Structure 1
Amino acid sequence: MVDDVNEQNPTDIAYVHSGYAPLSVRLIQFLAQPGWRAITDVLSQLPGPTVEEIQQIPVGLRKRRGSGSSIQSNMEDPKVTLVFFLGGCTLSEISALRFLSQQDDAAVEYIVATTKIINGGTFLQSLRERLKPPTL
């Protein structure tokens, strides 16, 4: 929770919920910062394995500068992080990730993959679905 959120000129991802930062995006924010391994004790509490893979971008696929003639150096290439939400995510989580990538000091671009986009309507609809009895 962040008490003093300025929604007109936000400085923290907590603006997406008027003071509450989604845990998933807060963890991703820590991942992008140097020294993120300091929270491994927290990550070990989450179920499932943690995978980190760093891949080099081939020269032909790197972004070109505005002139289109020179290739950026490795120092200027932003990192690209694939964020996969298994079970779905909300539009506000995607909005918070966009906010993180648009910060002045951000050197990370996020690609979001999810199994479903959840909003109020789809959440309530999932509660109304009838469960099928198990077949024996």
Structure 2
Amino acid sequence: MITLMNLQEAGLFKMKDKKAPGYFDWNWTKIKDQLNLVNADGVNFMSPSDISYVYNGYSPISVKIIEQIIDAKGITPIKNLLKLVGLTEDKLRIPQGESQFFNSQAPNTNGRPGFRKKKILVYFIGGITYAEIAALRFLMNLNPMIKFIIATTSIINGDSAVAQ
């Protein structure tokens, strides 16, 4: 707490005015519980099955939302969950054919029988951490028919976070 107060005094950390446009009041407890961000059972390092493995028991919100979209087979089924993190209907762009994309399999284009991995572009505006990239890669391993293409405006590490 003292560190946050010192950062605020130095002008490196600012509290957002609740009356400012775009202000969103986070209910951390509700978000944590609804998205299951903290793995209460602990992490099984021998046979990991949850993205919290990458963060030693914690799942980043960004990757957890992506996991929820994949598990629900689209954005539409989890609209209420997305509202918890400030993604209201006016901010969501739900593509046409969303359910068709998630409920179909991509045929091979090389003439071989079977199906190929579906490619999903994940774009992080503002940056992504290496740990989030690792969590997305782990999520790909859990879903073998999906391949993420990760795009971002920057890679965030400790030095770049402090520099901003």
- TM-score w.r.t. the length of structure 1 is 0.70
Q: Deviations over 1:66-101 (max 9, x none)?
A: xxxx3344xx12211000000001111111111111
Corresponding residue for 1:130?
none
Q: Which residue of 2 aligns with 1:79?
A: 118
Structure 2 residues not aligned, in runs of 5+: 1-37, 102-107
Counterparts of 1:53 and 1:119, CA distance in 2: 36
Whether 2:148 is the aligned partner of 1:110: answer yes
Match of 2:39?
Answer: 2
User: Please, which of 77, 80, 91 is the counterpart of residue 41 of structure 1?
Assistant: 80
Question: Comparing both structures, which one devotes a greater share of its residues to helix?
Answer: 2
Q: Contact 2:72–2:78 (CA<8 Å) still a contact in 1? A: no
Distance 1:54 1:92, change over 3 A: farther
* Structure 1 residues without counterparts, runs of 5 or longer: 57-61, 65-69, 127-136
1:102 counterpart SS class: helix
Aligned pair partner of 1:93 in 120, 132, 136: 132
CA displacement 1:19-47 (0-9 Å, x = unmatched):
11011111111111245432111224316
The letter of the residue matching 2:45 is E
Pick aligned residue for 2:93 from 37, 47, 50: 50
- Rounded Cα–Cα distance in structure 2 between residues aligned with 1:121 and 1:63: 44
CA contact (8 A) 2:119 2:146 kept: yes
The one-letter amino acid paired with 2:119 is: V
TM-score (norm 2): 0.59
- Distance in 1, matches of 2:97 and 2:152, equals 21
Looking at structure 1, the residues matched to 109 and 140 of structure 2 have their Cα atoms a distance apart, in angstroms, of 16
